[in-house]
Amino acid sequence: MRAKYLKASILASAILGLAQWSSAALAQNAAASDLYKRGLAATCANCHGTDGKGVVDGGMPLINNLTSGQLLEKLKGYKSGALEGTIMPQLAKGYTDEQLETIANQLGKR
Amino acid sequence: MDRRHFIGQSAAALGLITGFSTQAHANLQKAEILVIGGGYGGATAAKYLRLFSNNTARVTLIEPNPTFISCPMSNLVIGGSRTLSELTTSYSNLSKRHGIKMIQDSVASIDADKKTVKLASGKTLRYDKVVVSPGVTLMTNTIEGLAEANKAGVTLQAWKAGAETVALHQQLASMRDGGTYILSVPEAPYRCPPGPYERACQVASYFKQNKPKSKVIVLDANQDVTSKGALFKKVWAEQYPGMIEYLPKHNVIAVDGKTKTVKLEVQDDFKGDVLNILPAMSAGEIAVKTGLANSNGRWVNVNFLNFESTAQKDIHVLGDSIQIAPAMPKSGHMANSHAKVAAAAIVAELSGWEVNPAPVLTNTCYSFVNSKEVVHVASVHQYNAAEKTFKTVPGSGGLSPVPSVLEGIYAWGWARNIWADSLA
């Protein structure tokens, strides 16, 4: 009886431990992945402001009030050539579609 | 094993596991992070270390100058259409808004073994991570007589924006009409590839309006214009006909400040009225002195995933001081881009996370061909894991088709935004 009980206890503890461990690992992965996304979106900040909040009346077209959907539409337009511009058509072609989606999600108006 | 014992053990194991993440988090909060140099690289690194750590990292920025003066746009001050105050930004927001400790001092030495930094004032600071972003050193001794001519105030570089920028404009302003301005360009790599050619435009623009009989001579050690070549040559021919003489493969080896003579490796001497002699460049002095410049003794090799020096652990080097990846310019925009990758990597490392395996850098650079019209070059650099370097993406990036006033407005937009992104 005692041995049986112990086995169950080992199993329960192992499951509990694994769950705790994986949730900690998941939280870490989520935090790390969030950091990567912020890093990618920060490649826009040089021209369009930290977190996409550009200097108002600074001379650079602002993205401050665009939603994620509007941003993605513009980025894809620049990449495909549907939208004309000076620098943006050249820069948009340097990112994968997935990266453009991440950027749009990060910088879109909340 | 009894039940109590077992539960105790598994609880301990559990503690170990969950304790790991809190421990790593505590490392981020406890770590002393020093940033040396408050230019485009260092200021951005300090700010983004705070942003990416959700304001938990302890960051100290060490910079000798009381304010930030932008090198990009400073050719406009030499051309007389702008003033230095328009390019000057306070460091105060870094402390007020972002909680960065500012120390106005220069660094005398770094002890990589003891992990300490000694300030010029004598104080020693401990670090867990140090970010080194010291710009470039102008290797004055590579041109005979240049140090003496500089000291006598005859020759100027004005390749770090500040008092020399204003002094160079004053030399042009007091030059006789019909005089000659000589600009020499060192062999690449040097800070700001299109900078010399933009400067030639700015000086010519000033001459055209104020001293139309004067001449600009560009003595370039390189085989040809190193950036935006076709665009600059077209502008020189169309906007400044007969005024700018561009001479490639002209390597300056000596200067005589008394007779204002420039001596070349191969060709005959040149005489001028205003001599703007740019010597070869290397990593910033503190990087060289610390033994970080392990590429030819001039530039710092870094791991491009986190910008850690390959010579010393926990020393991350940014901006103009590094040995560049292919097609990576030494520019303010690029230094700002380096800084964000390095800041994210440092936060990840101190949190116990893997650093981003696929970082991205961008570069944009606007050059004024007169006081209003601009041409640009832009690029996107994705990390290539197989080659462990950044590579530009085929089909991306490029140049302006022609100079335009619209891009002149964007250039100022770029400047105001990158100053805010780095400093506000």
d(CA B89, CA B160) in angstroms, rounded, equals 15
Q: Where are the domains of chain A?
A: 2-107
Alpha helices in B277-404 (DSSP H): 285-289, 332-351
> Percent of chain B, pLDDT > 90?
94
pLDDT in tens, B154-178: 999 999 999 999 999 999 999 999 9
A50 lies within 8 A of chain B by CB: yes
Taking the C-alpha atoms of residue B362 and residue A45, their distance in angstroms, rounded to an integer, is 10
Q: What is the pLDDT of residues A54-63, one digit of tens each?
A: 999 999 999 9
CA distance B277 to B290: 28
Q: Is B151 on the interface with A (CB under 8 A)?
A: no
- The DSSP annotation for B367-387 comes to EESSSS-EEEEEEEEEEETTT
Cis omega (within 30 of 0) for bond into B401? no
Residues 6+ positions from B220 with CB-CB distance below 8 Å: B184, B185, B196, B246, B247, B248, B249, B250
Among A38, A48, A93, beta carbon nearest to B393: A93
**Chain B residues touching A9 at Cβ < 8 A:** 3, 6-7
Gap between the Cα atoms of A106 and B154, Å rounded: 52
Structure tokens at B376: 């640009």
pLDDT band at B84 (very low <50, low <70, confident <90, very high): very high
Q: B 320-339 residues with CB below 8 A of A?
A: 333, 336-337
* Mean pLDDT value of segment B335-339: 98
DSSP element (H, E) containing B36: strand B32-36
Instruction: Find chain B residues with C-beta within 8 A of A17's C-beta.
Output: 10, 13-14, 17
Checking if the pLDDT of B257 tops 70, the result is yes
Structural domains present in chain B: 14-64+105-138+282-355 (3.50.50.60), 140-281 (3.50.50.60)
Q: Distance of CA B325 to CAs B179, B366, B388, B397, Å?
A: 40, 21, 10, 16
* The pLDDT value given to residue B15: 42
Say whether A94 and B396 touch across the interface (CB within 8 A): yes
Of A6 and B273, the one with more pLDDT: B273
The pLDDT of residue B37 is 98
| B6: pLDDT strictly greater than 50 | no
B chain contacts of residue A42, beta-carbon cutoff 8 Å = 48, 340, 344
Whole-angstrom distance, CA of residue B364 vs CA of residue B414: 9
> Is B400 in CB contact (< 8 Å) with chain A?
yes
Please say whether the beta carbons of B350 and B129 come within 8 A.
yes
Reply yes or no on whether the pLDDT at A7 is more than 90: no
Rounded to two decimals, the pTM is 0.92
Q: What is the pLDDT of residue B209?
A: 98
Inter-chain CB proximity B344 and A59 less than 8 Å: no
CB pairs under 8 A between A and B: 157
Query: What are the tokens at B165?
Result: 């920028």
Does A46 contact B395 at a Cβ distance shorter than 8 Å?
no
Residue B413 is inside which H or E element, if any? helix B405-423
Residue B128 CA, distance from chain mean position: 24
pLDDT confidence of A23, banded at 50, 70, 90? confident
User: Which residue out of B362, B392, B405 would a mutagenesis test of the A interface target, given it has the greatest number of A Cβ atoms within 10 Å?
Assistant: B362
In 10 A of CB B126, how many CB atoms? 11
Q: Could you tell me which CATH class the domain A2-107 is placed in?
A: mainly alpha
CA geometry: angle B275, B63, B169, nearest 5 deg: 25
Task: Collect all residues of chain A within an 8 Å Cβ-Cβ radius of residue B340.
Answer: 39, 42-43, 45
CA distances from B51 to A17, B59, B157, B415 (A): 33, 11, 36, 21
